[in-house]
Amino acid sequence: MRKRHEAVQCLLNITALVTSEPIALSYSLSLSSGEIVKVRASRMIRWDRKSSRFYTQKPDKAGGPKARLEYATCLSEAIAGGVLWDKEVNINALCELIKFAVLVNFNEEAVQFLMKSKNLQIFEEDEEFLSAAFP
């Protein structure tokens, strides 16, 4: 129970920053040959766990199903990876659950069905924790 609540608490402690542009990232790697390889990339979402900052590009609501699926996928990967960074074996399962929840706009009945279909439940102590966090 304590581990589950710690995982959720890290979500409650983040600062979310929204931008209209993709988040630009750059990496450099020094090779043993002395060569430096530089890579630039852009992402829709980035979670910096150390600073508790969550950067997200504003979703394109007019982009249609592909844009919605892309955003749901990026969001679910960032959250699952951030919450379960130390339990890599569980990341994909949580990622899929979050992705479907995003795609159904977190509709309570749809999420309950999804959880039931995956043989998942929320424990009473978790309900109490969530009720206290979101009065």
Tokens of 133: 């966090």
Question: Residue-wise pLDDT tens for the chain (135 aa)?
Answer: 888 888 788 888 889 999 888 888 888 999 999 999 999 988 899 988 888 899 999 887 788 899 899 999 999 999 998 888 778 888 999 999 999 999 999 999 999 999 999 888 888 998 888 888 887
The predicted model scores a pTM of: 0.77
Looking at the 3D structure of the chain, how many domains does it have? 1
Both structure tokens of 90: 């569980």
For residues 43 and 28, what is the distance between their CA atoms, to the nearest angstrom?
Answer: 17
Domain that holds residue 99: 2-133
How far, in Å, are 46, 98, 108, 116 from residue 15 at the CA level? 12, 19, 25, 31
